[in-house]
Amino acid sequence: MTEPIRVEGLAEFNRALKKLDANAPKGLRLAHNEAAQIVVDAARPLMPSRTGRARAAIKTRSTRTATRVSAGSARAPYVPWLDYGGEGRRKGRPSHREFKKGGRYVYPAFHRTRGDVQDALESALLKVVRDAGLEVD
């Protein structure tokens, strides 16, 4: 399994930005969403679709300190079952889908696009730093 992308000192950077400008940390969340969107765009076409709800339920849900992709919603609560499998119920009938530990759609999309995500996150964070009026080497 691929290791997550870690940015050392991101929490401290977030606090320092907040001291410079109260609105500056919002740029961090947008930077994380930009990187997460790469995974969303790679995973959506792979997700099975009858009504489009499962595909639409793959979204960015980043914070100022974490890049996140969520899969599933109130309108498509079955998305984790589609992705990982297991025992489920469909219209009152039991249903079975072979369990796959690494998932079928979201995590494989992350593994394929990891380099692009890392590059996008780095570029977006540098833009936030420059927008805050700081110089970067």
Give residue 4's pLDDT band: very low, low, confident or very high (50, 70, 90). Answer: low
Evaluate if residue 126 carries a pLDDT over 80: yes
* CB-based contact 98:85 (threshold 8 Å): yes
The answer to the question of residue 137 being in a domain is: no
Q: List pLDDT tens digits, range 26-60.
A: 888 898 999 999 999 999 999 998 899 999 999 99
Domain residue limits at 124: 10-131
pLDDT score recorded for residue 38: 96
Domain tally for the chain? Answer: 1
The answer to the question of residue 77 being in a domain is: yes
The answer to the question of residue 38 being in a domain is: yes
Q: List pLDDT tens digits, range 78-123.
A: 999 999 998 877 677 778 889 999 999 999 999 999 999 999 998 9
pLDDT score recorded for residue 2: 57
